[in-house]
Each structure stands twice: as C-alpha cells, then as structure tokens.
Structure 1
Amino acid sequence: MTWDAFAVNLAASAGAALAVMLGAFAIALRMRVHRIVDVAWGLAFVAVALATWFLSAGHGDEVRRLAVTLATCVWGLRLAVHIARRARGHGEDPRYARMLARAPGSPAWYALRKVYLLQGALVWLVSLPVQAAAYLPRGVDVALVLGLAVWAVGVGFEAAGDHQLARFKSDPANRGRIMDRGLWAWTRHPNYFGDFLVWWGLYLTACATWQTAALTLVSPLVMTGLLVWGSGKRLLEAHMADRPGYAAYRARTSGFLPRPPRGDPDRAATR
C-alpha cells in the first residue's frame, strides 16, 4: 500500500465530489429545483471512482482497481438514471421544500451548506473503501470475490425493488394504494437494503489488509446509519405514516432486513 499516493488520492477525490456537487448546485439555482442533488449523489460516487482509478495506476493491482471502479460506476449510474427518470415532470421534493422554508437567511446558501456540501462530504467518507481498494497491490483474493458477490446481490435487490415499485405506480388502478408485492412484501425498503449490501460489499473489497479494513470500516457504518436512522428509512416512514393501509403494512412487513411477511393483524383479529 503506497500511503503517500493514497493521501494524494484522498484530496483529489474530495475535489471530484465537490466539483459534482457545486455543478449540481449551479443547475439547481437555474432550474429552481434542489431535488437534482439526489441525481448528483450517485454521479459524485462515479466521479470519485474514476478519479481514483486514474490516480491509482501503477500503485494497486490492475484487476482490483478495475473491479471496484466498475462496481461503483455501475451502482452510481444506475441510481442516478433511476432517480432522474422518477423525478421527471415533478416539482421540488417535499423534503427540500420544507427544509428551505425554514432556512434562516438565504435559502440558496443554506441549501449549499446543509445539502450540497454535506452530501459531498458524505460521498468522500462513504467511498473510502473504493479508494483504498484501488491502492492495494494484492490481486484476486477471498475479500475481493466475496465483496463483489455481496455487491452484486445488493445491486440486483435494489434494481428489482425500484423496478417493481415503478411498475406498480405506473398503473392508475394502484393510485393511493400501498405497494406490498414482490420484494416489498419482504421488506418495506428493498432499495435501501440493496444499498446496504452494496456498500458492505465494497467495504469487503478493501479488507485485504487489516490496516485498510480498520481505516475504512467507518464508511459502511455511516451508510448504514444514513439508510436506517438518517435521511432514508426514518424520514420516508414519517412521510408515509398517515397513508391509508400503511399501519397494517408496517405491522406485517420487516422494516429493513428481508423476511417472510407476518399475517395481517387486522384479519387475525376478526377470526
């Protein structure tokens, strides 16, 4: 592990994430819609992965470098395209509208500090395993194979859940109904669970040495916290709490880790 080159990469990757977020901020000001930052989230990871791949040439194993770069780019691009399609034709995200309505001073500068720069910092932190793995001289090993396997399950789970939800929402007959089919019958958040697997998988690719395993452990832990207790599951469930049928769906469906659905408590009470 060439630690001096890795240190340079840390600075360059921070610059790559910042550049994407500042570009998104400029577009958002022009469009007057800040939900574009959700598209920039995936693209910022792609920018970090590509910058790392370029700078790590001659330092890390070629197979490992290429594997973690492609894995990150596939995940980030798929997520960015999915969110962009989902947001097409819609106005501001209610989360950002509520936050900016309470902003002290200029809403634009408040958004820059609390949304764009914060998310840029999180991209840098969460992507530490991708950066570290690219500088490991070790070739294909158990950590790389296992990590990519977990990543593949996560991407597949996330993509399948997003596809099922998109098809459900496209049917006018489902307007106002709760999606409780397919993967959504096993967990209330298959997309978030998929993300969880993706980043624990990418963390494993950096676990060829105990030093990189210890250094980058914070990354999947932070992503798990965001998905479960931060801006993911917690906020979405608060938004959905008053929807008709959601309480029963919540009672019978796992909140995160997939498992077979329980029996409907409302039906059981009438027997």
Structure 2
Amino acid sequence: MASNQNLKNATIAFLVPLPSIIFYLTFLNNYHSSITNPNNPSFFSTLWTWCYHHPLLFANALFFFNVNLLFWLIGQIQSSHWMIDPYWTVIPVMLVHYYATHPLAQYDWWRSHIVILLTWVWSIRLTHNYFRREKWQWGAREDWRFTEMSQQYGKHWWWISFFAVYVSQQMFLIGLSLPLYIVHFVDMPLSILDLVAVLVCLSGVVIAYFADTQLHDFMSRNNKLKGLGKPVVPVLENGLWYYCRHPNYFGETLWWWGLVVFAWSLGHGWTFIGAFVNTLCLAYVTRLVEDKMLKQESRAEAFRLYQKTTSVWIPWFKSFPSEVKNKNA
C-alpha cells in the first residue's frame, strides 16, 4: 500500500509542472508572429505580446496558476501540502532556465552558465538531502510547521493554507531568485565580484551539505541506539555543529547572499531584499526549532547548555560562561 502511494505521489510530482512547461514552449513557438504583426487583435496574440514584454510578471503568473492554485488543489485532495517542499529545490532551476531562454534575455555567456551550473549544484544537494531525510519517499509527510498550523487554524486551514503555504512561497522564491533574473537581463563582462559570488555560493553549498550530512548521521546513530534500548545522545556537538547551532541554515543563507553578489556586480544590489527576508524567516524558524528542542525533556538540559556555549548561526569558537566552568570544575 505504501509503495503504491509512493509511486502515485512520484507520478503526480513529475506531471504537475507540465502546464507551465507546455505553456512556455507554446509561447516560444508563437510569440514572434505576434510581435511582428502588432495589428492582429486576437486573444492569443495579445497574450503572447504581454508575455514577451513582461518576463518577470510572466514568471509570477506561471507560478501563481501552476504552483499556488494547482499545488493547493492537490493538497486539498490529499489532505497534505507535501509537494511544495521538494519543489522548493526545483523551482529556482526552472526559473534560471526560463530567464536564460526568454526572448528578451541578454547576458554574458560565461556568467549565465556559471550561475546555471551553481543553481543545479545547489538544487541537487538540497534535493538529495530532502529525499534522504524522507527515506526516499514521495509525500510521506508534510512539513511539521504546516501540520502545526493546520491544528492551530482548524476548519479555516483549507483557505488559510493557500496563502500561508503557497502565496508566501511565491513571494519567497521569486524574491530570492531575482538575482537569476538580473544575471540574464543585464549584459556586462565578468568582474572580480563575480569570483567573490562564486566563492560565497560554493561555500554555502559545501557548508550546508556537510552540516546536513552530519545531522543525518547523528539522527541515524540515535535511531540505532534507541532500537537497541540504549540511551541516545541528546545534542549534536561534533563537526560543524561544534562551532554553531545551525550550520545548515548558515550554509543555505550564504548561498542566497552569494547570488545577491552576482546581481550587485551588475549594479542591482537592490535584489538583496529576497535574501534579507529569507534570512529573517530562517531566524524565526531557528527559534521554532529551538523551542521544539526545549520541549523535549530528555534534551532540554543539554540543549540549554549548548545554547549558552555555542554560536547560533555564524561558526565561532565555544564560549564557556562562569556557571558552566564552575559546573565542570
């Protein structure tokens, strides 16, 4: 039964982006005649002309109808909003290729291909981590925060979920991906800032990969200990987790700020707004995660000590408050 549901969810996940893909390919095959014959008053001619002249609004329209509406409807049918999580890792890849192939795009070839390659590397890393965490299942569960919100809002969750789960994700992902848009609509030669951007992006991906791998190994070991009836280790304090409490969030944040540096090198530093808002949201999620840890009696005391001695996000050396020193004396 579980395998049938897994196959069903995988099929849905592969088919669900087809409306946007087909619509965009249809636009690419038909926009030229609409632009060269502006006196044609047909509906589709007007539509293709609008899509041609407004690439960013076009991307938002595709997102709204294909993700917000369609994903939400599927979520209502399945009573689970699981699909937005794996697609969080895929949508930026779709966006970067959309921006690169739009007829109005103009860009430096090297910068474009560097950014596309980096986006693929980021996506593969995050997708692998998602499915590894979910034990390679499609839609086995939704994000725990959505589950808590559904319990909080009760009978109103069916319509609140449209805004809380999907419209909010559109603002995040389109905002975060604004540097991908700038890279493909501003044509300037490479500069030293592009090298800085590459280093920041790669650092973010590498840090996030090792942090998530260390967390996965830690949880796997604890599950084995629990299965053997032995006491589990309450807090992960090895590897990158020795230097900060959320190195995975730090790595993810670095990635998005690295993209901002690409846009900054092209004179569009204003695109930092997406990365800034995402950083604030991750800070809020950090608080939720830590509150959840403190509610677990078996971990609360060890985690409070971890909080006192270890940096939150930015990797740094341990600090040992006087009460901790006295306790260890």
Q: What TM-score, normalized to structure 1? A: 0.86
Instruction: Give the length in aligned residue pairs.
Output: 264
Indicate yes or no: 2:296 matched with 1:239. no
Q: Distance in 2 between matches of 1:13 and 1:209?
A: 21
User: Structure 1 residues 56, 42: CA separation in 2 closer, same or farther (over 3 Å shift)?
Assistant: farther
User: Structure 1 residues 42, 15: CA separation in 2 closer, same or farther (over 3 Å shift)?
Assistant: farther
Indicate yes or no: 2:245 matched with 1:198. no
Whose Rg is larger? 2
Residue by residue over 1:8-38, the C-alpha shift from the partner in whole angstroms, topping out at 9 and shown as x without a partner, is: 2212322344324545434434543324322
Residue by residue over 1:54-92, the C-alpha shift from the partner in whole angstroms, topping out at 9 and shown as x without a partner, is: 116751111111222222232133213312331346544
The residue aligned with 1:132 is 182
The residue aligned with 1:121 is 171
Does the Cα contact within 8 Å between 1:188 and 1:255 map onto a contact in 2? yes
Q: Distance in 1 between matches of 2:186 and 2:142?
A: 42
Does the Cα contact within 8 Å between 1:136 and 1:208 map onto a contact in 2? no
Residue by residue over 1:100-142, the C-alpha shift from the partner in whole angstroms, topping out at 9 and shown as x without a partner, is: 1222644233212211121122111111111112222112211
Does the Cα contact within 8 Å between 1:20 and 1:40 map onto a contact in 2? no
% same residue? 25
Q: Identify unmatched segments of 5+ residues in structure 2.
A: 1-49, 226-230
Q: Distance in 2 between matches of 1:78 and 1:188?
A: 21
Q: Distance in 1 between matches of 2:129 and 2:192?
A: 32
User: Structure 1 residues 176, 107: CA separation in 2 closer, same or farther (over 3 Å shift)?
Assistant: farther
Residue by residue over 1:201-260, the C-alpha shift from the partner in whole angstroms, topping out at 9 and shown as x without a partner, is: 1100112243x12x31212211221222x3x21221121123321101111110111101
Indicate yes or no: 2:125 matched with 1:72. no
Does the Cα contact within 8 Å between 1:9 and 1:55 map onto a contact in 2? yes
Q: What TM-score, normalized to structure 2? A: 0.72
**What is the root-mean-square deviation of aligned Cα atoms in Å?**
2.6
Indicate yes or no: 2:314 matched with 1:257. yes
| 1:264 Cα deviation from its structure 2 partner | 7.3
Identify which of structures 1 and 2 has the higher relative contact order when contacts are C-alpha pairs closer than 8 Å and 6+ apart. Answer: 1
Indicate yes or no: 2:118 matched with 1:61. no
Q: Distance in 1 between matches of 2:52 and 2:233?
A: 50
Q: Identify unmatched segments of 5+ residues in structure 1.
A: none
Give 1:33-44 correspondences, 5 Å limit. 33-44=80-91
SS state at 2:83 partner: helix
The residue aligned with 1:159 is 209
Give 1:88-127 correspondences, 5 Å limit. 88=135, 91-103=141-153, 105-127=155-177
Q: Distance in 1 between matches of 2:97 and 2:118?
A: 11
SS state at 1:180 partner: coil
Residue by residue over 1:150-204, the C-alpha shift from the partner in whole angstroms, topping out at 9 and shown as x without a partner, is: 0000100000100011111111237462111100111111111001111111100
Bigger Cα displacement from structure 2, 24-33 vs 55-64 = 24-33
Q: Distance in 1 between matches of 2:180 and 2:55?
A: 11
